[in-house]
Amino acid sequence: MGAHSAGRRPRGKRWGAKRFLIPAVAGVVTFGAVTAFAATLSVSSNKLSAGNTTVANCNAAAQVSYATAYASSIPGYAVSTATITTASTCAGMAYKVTLSGAGNTSLGEQTGTLDGTGGATTPAFSPTVSAALVTGVAVTITG
């Protein structure tokens, strides 16, 4: 019985080059398709999205302060309200004010929407937060 060679491919230089060229071409085509898809993502000036544009940075311009009032339930002074100021271009965006204490623990939070000037005054914190415990206050603005 003789050796049968039907169905065998020769292992020459041409076959070896094709083994590596075909996957490389497939990778380039896939990369091109993904890049074309990413180019269709929308970009807005108030929200962070994929793309290139200037995003209004309301958090960098934001300032927050808080007022105290005597609370007989503590007894002592408690944080009554927080006042937020930022750029007028941030009007209508949502805010969150966080009062923090020792170890950066959250003592209370208030959320709401900035008014037409880009500012706001929060309602009273509930539950009551003792002003003596507050070591920090932060505001986050999202659009």
**Is 43 part of any domain?**
no
Q: What are the mean pLDDT values of the chain's consecutive 10-residue runs (143 residues total)? A: 57 61 67 51 46 58 90 92 90 91 94 90 88 93 82
Domain ranges, residue 133: 59-142
Please indicate, yes or no, whether the overall pTM of this predicted structure exceeds 0.75: no
Q: Is there a domain that residue 85 lies in?
A: yes
Residue 13: inside a domain, yes or no? no
- Closest residue by Cα to residue 53 from 70, 41, 37, 65: 41
Q: Is residue 78 part of a domain?
A: yes
Asked whether residue 115 is assigned to any structural domain, the reply reads yes
Q: Report DSSP letters for 77-136, one per residue.
A: EEEEEEEEE--GGGTT-EEEEEEE-GGG-EEEEEEEE--TTS-EEPPPPSS--BGGG--E
Give residue 67's pLDDT: 92
**Is 33 domain-assigned?**
no
Say what the pLDDT of residue 43 is.
44
d(CA 133, CA 78): 9
14 within domain boundaries? no
Residue 129 falls within a domain, yes or no?
A: yes
Number of domains composing the chain: 1
